[in-house]
Structure 1
Amino acid sequence: MAFSTVLLTIGLGLGAAALPASSGMKNIKNVVVLVQENRSFDTLAGGFTYNSAIDGLVNNDYCNLANVSVPTSENICAADIANNIASDDPDHSITGGNMQVFGTYHPAADAKSSMGGFVTEQSYYYNLQQNMMEAAEVINYYKPDLVPVTEAMAENYVLFDRWFAAVPGPTNPNRAYLTSGTVHGHGSNDNAYNVSMLPQTSIFEQLTEHNITWMNYQNTTGKGSASFLPDALFYQWTAKSGMGDTNVLPISQFYEDAKNGNLPQFTWINPECCDYMSMHPKSPINMGENFMKSIYDAIRGSPQWKDTLFIITWDEHGGFADHVAPPTGVPAGDNIPYTEKALDGKNYTFHFDRLGIRVPAMLISPWVEKGVVQNKPSSGEGDFTHTSILKFVSELWDLPTLGPRVDWSPSFGNLITNKFRDDTPEKMPNAAGY
């Protein structure tokens, strides 16, 4: 039996005229989600010039002090000289994020976000006080021609420029929020994620209960891939139900299913991590771009394209700088806090009451308008975040929302139109090596 597919790519966008959520959403039968790794919005999209409304770095002078504790220290400013392969993997723990956002590891509850501590944290983390050029790597960004796939997707579809990670911390907590709306207190990449120990209800369990087909395809290319389970296998239910054996398949099966029109109603794609195609340092950016191209080209060439929404986003900022302060005062997914030891040796407890740093997100479909740069939701309430995907899915298939964070999250269903586009690119450009 062939399934229809919705292709959803999350990206930078400028508010276009929006239809009611219930109007265009009937055109989406399938959703495909790809979550890449560890890049902030400014890093990847800060240099885009195709639309002056994008809140990037082209028209902003964004700088960090070399040391936030020394007001007279050197001012390090963002430049479009980011490297294809990053020299270092920046700190992206919750306490490292505190320093990056607030200039301290222990911000007060009412602290104001300065977004000025990225270079300081990189300097502390890698002892780079005498090598500011290397420390400055966290604030630099890419010329558009070095990220041609991301730019082409944004320019042809919908790009969000106020989409924030769910957690101001690392990969797995953000992937848990993406797939269940909470982390059950696991704020680091701890062993619970490696042994399917998360007890909460995931989107995969919920879809099964409502007879909605799903698959988690995993790219296992790269020596580091085996160290991370695919996102569906974070959860006790997936492992105990046997769905991990039947519904977690290699990426090769995705390409075959797309070609034959056999993608399920909900497709979740894990990139490999963290050597080649995920964009997580030290993965080459051009290889990550071409992996994204391969997914797009497969969906665009599929018989299911006409029914598909493809969503692309990045799980978290990876320690790379962004100049937009994340929202605070948001509801947590549950009431379980998380405590970790900061680089200064002191404990910090986080209550999951603020969002992570801004990341790119794009919606890709023949049912979205071309070149939309979406800022805040048209309702003016909240900000788009990873759990907006869960909110959209709950509306699309009339499902209960997965907890308080999802309840709070704005949906983007009003960006799906009733006008089918016949001008969508058949293929994305290649990202050349450099």
Structure 2
Amino acid sequence: MVSRSKDHALDHVVVVVFENRSLDNVLGRLYGLQDGKTFEGVADRDLTNPIPEWAEHGADRKVVPYTAATDMDSPNPDTGEEYPHTNTQLFNILDEHNRFKIRDEVTAPYNAPEPGRTPTMDGFVTDYISTLTAELGRQPTYEEYAQVMTGFTPEQIPVLSGLARSFGVFDHWFSEVPSQTLTNRSFWTAATASGFVVNSPVENWVLHNDAETIFNRLEQHGRTWKVYIAEPDRFSMTGLIHYPRLKDRFETHFVPFSQFEADAATGDLPDFSFIEPCLVLGHGDYHPAVSRALGQGVVIPGVDPPSSILGGEAFLARIYNVYKAMQGTEGSTVWNTALLIGWDEPGGTYDHVPPGPVPPPDPSAPAGQLGFTFDRSGYRVPAIVVSPWVAEGEVFNEEHRHTSLIATLRERWDLGGPFTARDAAARTFTHAFTLDTPRDPATWPVADPRPVPQYVEDALIIGKSLSTLGKAAFEGIRGFADQQGIRITGLPDDPNADVPPEQALQIIRDFLAIHFPRLAPPTTSA
């Protein structure tokens, strides 16, 4: 019989990490002054970003004010998220030679500030105009670039907003690195990124990110874990990031999200469940639209519609409804399981709170990729904790970050010393569970997501696009195959040869079906 005591609130922990939204962008209007909360959002603030003088359209307006979003895909096209773009967003520094350049075209000093400078949070418009010019092959109109200074209302995203208001929300939860997906996801699970700052080249991660992970530490202390991957994705980004450490667990510990639903229903969840939304196919991860701008002057609307924020809402509702229904008396139940909802990084969406300095994971290590020393964090992302032991409408104002997860698990489950100096300094979130009597799930909010555009996988099969992470995954597979001398059917011998997107997609599927066998779709006989 499961004990209903807050002392057991963290016997099991479920974590889902979504993509590329800042706190202001999706929760900035969660509370206003009239609500009587101490919450640092956008309500009742006059927030703007300056328009650079070199902008061809709208420069006479001087600034773009922060307003409510009118498009569930916005910002569309996607904003820049790599380290140089984040530098511009945070400090409004754009090296002259990097204007109108993106990704690998950007060169040193990567728009970086001088050491010790405080972020001004006023370069989002500058970076978005520069990025859009590179993507669209022309300077954007005011209406196009003003999207970056918008955010959603609670009515637009009722699932996320409803959970944030009904349980506990952190209004100073910071991403760990002022950059993109893989480095921040690595900090969630390892408290370091082995010196890597950007996604590219992905073989860095596949071959050289050998840092100890929370999964390894759990096994050492007799704890259980699984990574659950949302369908139709057929590989795990977590597995890709930590390939050297986790490759021997792909066949046993990396399973479809449908298995999470089954495990939760029977009370068989492991101690630690890590959920990945669709990060490549379908994008049920709150990610801004990924497929409109595919290259300079190439615009294809409607290729990947569930990359709309609505896809993330639907998947979060699915997770929450499974969690809410865990009302058994044995094994993992809602009474002894906490649900943490987080994001990897803001992805270039606007936020007004400057991030501060942080300890490098290894203070003795040399500067990492792109010369970054890991001594300042990325900016704010949403974070919500759901549990019957969390009071309704809680706001946690203290600074937390991704490594607060590892710090909390180490403390609560007696997992040993810090992984790095970063999680050693991170604040835990055990203080969130304050109620002596749990809240009855019957009184919890109903998750009612808005309709989601249909995902049409054929759009990928016919070669219209691969998402940004899909392209990164393909390049990582290609680099791994080259390093290991592996022959992959359909992959050209020439590493510089172009591969059509539809062929790249098939190569990804074939390769990953071998490495992640439990994620491959079932075969059907004629």
Instruction: Summarize deviations over 1:327-368 as a string: whole Å, max 9, x none.
Output: 12x11112243333xxxxxxxx21111111101100100111
Q: Calculate the TM-score normalised by the size of structure 2.
A: 0.71
- Secondary structure of residue in 2 paired with 1:312: strand
Match of 1:407 among 414, 419, 424: 424
8 Å CA contact 1:387–1:405 kept in 2: the answer is yes
Write the distance in 2 (CA, Å) between the matches of 1:386 and 1:83. 29
Give % identity.
Answer: 30
Write the distance in 2 (CA, Å) between the matches of 1:82 and 1:182. 37
| Equivalent residue, structure 2, for 1:266 | 272
* Mapped pair 1:58 → 2:43: yes
Q: What is the letter of the counterpart of residue 43 of structure 2?
A: V
8 Å CA contact 2:236–2:276 kept in 1: the answer is no
* Mapped pair 1:181 → 2:188: no
8 Å CA contact 2:227–2:255 kept in 1: the answer is yes
Match of 1:93 among 54, 79, 82: 82
| Equivalent residue, structure 2, for 1:131 | 141
Q: What is the letter of the counterpart of residue 403 of structure 2?
A: T
8 Å CA contact 1:163–1:361 kept in 2: the answer is yes
8 Å CA contact 1:149–1:289 kept in 2: the answer is yes
Write the distance in 1 (CA, Å) between the matches of 2:91 and 2:325. 45
Q: Give the number of the structure whose alpha-carbon radius of gyration is greater.
A: 2
8 Å CA contact 1:35–1:312 kept in 2: the answer is yes
Q: What is the letter of the counterpart of residue 420 of structure 2?
A: G
Instruction: In structure 2, list runs of 5 or more residues that go unmatched.
Output: 94-110, 290-306, 454-526
Instruction: Summarize deviations over 1:46-101 as a string: whole Å, max 9, x none.
Output: 12237443211111111001117899762101101242113211101111111100
Change (3 A) 1:132 1:5: farther
* Mapped pair 1:211 → 2:222: yes
Q: Calculate the TM-score normalised by the size of structure 1.
A: 0.86
- Secondary structure of residue in 1 paired with 2:113: coil
Superposition pairs for residues 29-428 of structure 1, below 5 Å? 29-49=11-31, 51=35, 52-67=37-52, 74-86=62-74, 87-104=76-93, 105-127=111-133, 129-190=139-200, 191-192=202-203, 195=206, 197-221=208-232, 225=233, 229-240=236-247, 242-274=248-280, 275-282=282-289, 283-302=307-326, 303=328, 304-328=333-357, 330-334=358-362, 335-340=365-370, 349-376=371-398, 383-400=399-416, 401-424=418-441, 425=444, 427-428=446-447
User: Which stretch of the first structure deviates more once superposed, 192-201 or 303-312?
Assistant: 192-201
Change (3 A) 1:99 1:163: same
Write the distance in 1 (CA, Å) between the matches of 2:322 and 2:253. 20
- Point out the structure with the larger helix share: 2
- Secondary structure of residue in 2 paired with 1:153: helix
Q: What is the letter of the counterpart of residue 332 of structure 1?
A: P
Change (3 A) 1:236 1:286: closer
| Equivalent residue, structure 2, for 1:431 | 450
Cα RMSD (Å): 2.4
- Secondary structure of residue in 2 paired with 1:313: strand
Aligned length in residues = 396
| Equivalent residue, structure 1, for 2:506 | none
Higher relative contact order (CA 8 A, sep 6+): 1
8 Å CA contact 2:9–2:387 kept in 1: the answer is no
Q: What is the letter of the counterpart of residue 346 of structure 2?
A: H
Instruction: Summarize deviations over 1:118-165 as a string: whole Å, max 9, x none.
Output: 011000011164412111211200121111011111111100101100
Distance apart, 1:211 and its partner CA: 0.8
